């Protein structure tokens, strides 16, 4: 049978009240012989009552009742008797047979029934110990109260015996029954009761005033206590808050920002110019997003390209190179940049070839990069990279360590460790670890190193110029700062916009570890 409509429920309520003045239990209402006693029916009745109450036609109260249903174990007891009665049934009367031991009892009734049944039977003094086993202490069949209680609950949904509250608690403790809440309503007439529902006007219009229709109209009561619709203002995403703090730290340390609005790069700038071999696993389709159209990138300066090709295939500048074939076709491929170091490389080439020659520089960038990775709680195919480079004469690994200690101190990370690592384009290379007070362990926060001569000298940078470089993600420190466990709730369609608005401003220099 189809569900009753709100109109039919409304008519039923008003007609019932017109004859009886009250509806003590809304579950007793019925339409065409169908009693409205399900939770769906009561939800529909609630919607109609709210509408009528706003018009002051009815008043109602919500009544909450609780019934119980049997669990699977409770149903089994209802059918076969309680664990204790089943134990009692298989035990012999003292002196009329050999006592039954625990292993024998488990074979007769099952391990679970034996364990619970003998415990409860002992409490009720139905059985006793006799030598190596158990016998009946009560010869006449005892009253199986548990089964009787479950039988009553099965048929009526509740217990109506003395001490029923304690009995219910015990049955719930034994996981034999489950509670189920029922909501229904008692309804009485309101001050504006009528069997006909008038449409209340919400606005006094010019047309009503001109025609005089307002005199015959009924108006909805104005709720002066109602809050207005909140206005939505702009809110910075947590990533942007942490990004702004990093930018301020870089500016405070004398860095300039690199232009990073070019997401599509050539394989030449993304890999080749950085002395990453063309056979490196990261260049495979599994790790990099390649662009189908256009097919080829614009060619770099021919002389610079030839120097890069030569250092890969033949070596130079004190290096033997990779001694592997170097393909122009591979260099001309277009891809979504896998790191912002592609931008840093292009900027270093500009530094080497700018009018007036090389000048020392400190540069940084914070922008998006793309990796063809499987997404999970800690990885996305698109994320942000924070990168810094320092180019100057005769700077060393010690300068790099000192710089990172100063930078991370400003972000609140004062306990650092440095571990040797490998990168194709830096030597020496280091991973940076910070002690995380919340997790109670060292976690990796950055990768760093000194760019190799094979990368720098083909650009035309003077001998003696060294470049320190390091990078980290923006998402990880943001997740730590705001205690976010899943990166997909920070960026993407699972982001809670309400939480974005509520996130507090971040102040990294306060010492957040």
Region of residue 446 (left: phi > 0; alpha: psi -120 to 50; beta: else): beta
| Domain range for 97 | 83-143
Q: Is the pLDDT of residue 271 over 80?
A: yes
Closest CA to 335 of 265, 382, 287: 265
pLDDT digits (tens, 9 = 90+) for 120-157: 888 888 888 888 888 787 888 888 888 888 898 888 88
357 assigned to some structural domain: yes
Average pLDDT over residues 318-346: 90
CA gap 195, 52 in Å, rounded: 11
**What confidence tier does 512 reach under pLDDT thresholds 50, 70, 90?**
very low
pLDDT of residue 391: 95
149 assigned to some structural domain: no
Same domain, 324 and 387: yes
Q: Is the pLDDT of residue 450 over 60?
A: yes
User: What mean pLDDT is reported for the chain?
Assistant: 86
- Contact 375/393 with Cβ under 8 angstroms? no
Same domain, 411 and 495: yes
Look up the CATH number of the domain holding residue 99: 1.10.10
510 assigned to some structural domain: no
pLDDT digits (tens, 9 = 90+) for 372-431: 877 777 677 888 999 999 999 989 999 999 999 999 888 888 889 999 999 888 999 999
CA-angle at 25, arms to 171 and 53, nearest 5°: 125
- Contact 82/147 with Cβ under 8 angstroms? yes
Same domain, 428 and 485: yes
Tracing tokens 């020496």 back to the chain, one arrives at 428
CA gap 449, 470 in Å, rounded: 6
Average pLDDT over residues 193-199: 81
- Contact 454/410 with Cβ under 8 angstroms? no
pLDDT digits (tens, 9 = 90+) for 454-487: 999 999 999 889 999 999 988 888 887 778 777 8
213 assigned to some structural domain: no
Same domain, 59 and 102: no
Same domain, 467 and 484: yes
3-state percent breakdown (helix, strand, coil) of the chain, nearest 5: 40, 25, 40
268 assigned to some structural domain: yes
Same domain, 407 and 274: yes
CA-angle at 294, arms to 289 and 298, nearest 5°: 100
Same domain, 33 and 71: yes
pLDDT of residue 511: 43
495 assigned to some structural domain: yes
pLDDT digits (tens, 9 = 90+) for 31-72: 888 888 888 888 999 999 998 888 888 999 999 888 888 998
Residues 6+ apart with CB under 8 A from 28: 35, 37
Please tell me the total count of domains within the chain. 3
Same domain, 370 and 489: yes
Same domain, 311 and 177: no
Q: Angle, nearest 10°, between helix axes 39-54 and 6-20?
A: 70
Same domain, 278 and 357: yes
3-class DSSP assignment, residue 375: coil
156 assigned to some structural domain: no
Look up the CATH number of the domain holding residue 35: 3.30.1370
> How many Cβ atoms from other residues are within 10 Å of residue 96's Cβ?
9
Same domain, 343 and 432: yes
pLDDT of residue 509: 55
Same domain, 119 and 57: no
pLDDT of residue 286: 67
3-class DSSP assignment, residue 198: coil
Look up the CATH number of the domain holding residue 326: 3.30.930.10
158 assigned to some structural domain: no
């Amino acid at each position: 049978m189809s569900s009753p409509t709100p109109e039919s429920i409304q008519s039923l309520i008003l007609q019932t009240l017109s004859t009886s003045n009250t509806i003590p239990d809304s579950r007793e209402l019925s339409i065409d012989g169908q009693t409205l006693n399900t939770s769906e029916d009561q939800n529909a009745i609630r919607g109609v009552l709210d509408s009528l109450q706003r018009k002051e036609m009815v008043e109602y109260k919500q009544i909450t009742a609780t019934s119980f249903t049997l669990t699977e174990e409770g149903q089994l007891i209802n059918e076969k008797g309680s664990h204790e009665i089943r134990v009692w049934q298989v035990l012999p009367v003292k002196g009329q047979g050999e006592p039954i031991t625990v292993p024998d009892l488990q074979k007769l009734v099952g391990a679970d029934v034996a364990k619970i049944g003998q415990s409860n039977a002992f409490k009720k003094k139905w059985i006793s110990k006799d030598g190596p086993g158990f016998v009946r202490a009560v010869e006449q069949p005892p009253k199986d109260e548990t089964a009787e209680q479950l039988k009553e609950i099965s048929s009526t949904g509740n217990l109506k015996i003395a001490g029923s509250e304690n009995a219910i608690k015990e049955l719930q403790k034994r996981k034999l029954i489950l509670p189920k809440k029922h909501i229904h309503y008692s309804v009485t007439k309101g001050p504006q009761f009528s069997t006909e529902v008038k449409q209340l006007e919400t606005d006094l219009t010019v047309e009503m005033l001109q025609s005089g229709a307002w005199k015959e109209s009924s108006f909805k009561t104005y709720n002066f206590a109602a809050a207005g619709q909140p206005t939505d203002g702009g809110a910075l995403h947590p990533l942007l808050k942490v990004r702004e703090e990093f930018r301020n730290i870089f500016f405070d340390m004398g860095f300039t920002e690199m232009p990073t609005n070019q997401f599509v790069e050539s394989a030449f700038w993304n890999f080749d110019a950085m002395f990453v071999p063309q056979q490196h696993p990261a260049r495979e389709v599994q790790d990099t997003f390649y662009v189908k159209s256009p097919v080829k990138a614009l060619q770099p300066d021919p002389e610079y390209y030839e120097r890069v090709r030569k250092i890969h295939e033949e070596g130079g500048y004190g290096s033997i190179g990779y001694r592997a074939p170097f393909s122009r076709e591979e260099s001309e491929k277009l891809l979504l940049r896998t790191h912002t170091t592609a931008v840093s490389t292009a900027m270093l080439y500009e530094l080497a070839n700018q009018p007036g020659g090389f000048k020392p520089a400190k540069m940084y960038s914070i922008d998006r990069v793309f990796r063809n990775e499987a997404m999970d709680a800690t990885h996305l195919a698109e994320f942000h990279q924070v990168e810094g480079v320092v180019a100057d004469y005769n700077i060393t690994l010690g300068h790099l360590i000192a710089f990172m200690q100063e930078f991370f101190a400003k972000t609140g990370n004062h306990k650092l460790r440095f571990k040797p690592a490998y990168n194709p384009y830096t030597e020496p290379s280091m991973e940076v670890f910070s002690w995380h007070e919340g997790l109670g362990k060292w976690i990796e926060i950055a990768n760093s190193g000194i760019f190799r001569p094979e990368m720098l000298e083909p650009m035309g940078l003077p001998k003696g110029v060294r470049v320190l470089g390091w990078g980290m993600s923006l998402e990880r420190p943001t997740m730590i700062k705001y205690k976010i466990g899943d990166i997909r709730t920070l960026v993407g369609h699972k982001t809670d916009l309400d939480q974005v608005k509520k996130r507090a401003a971040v102040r990294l220099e306060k010492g957040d570890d």
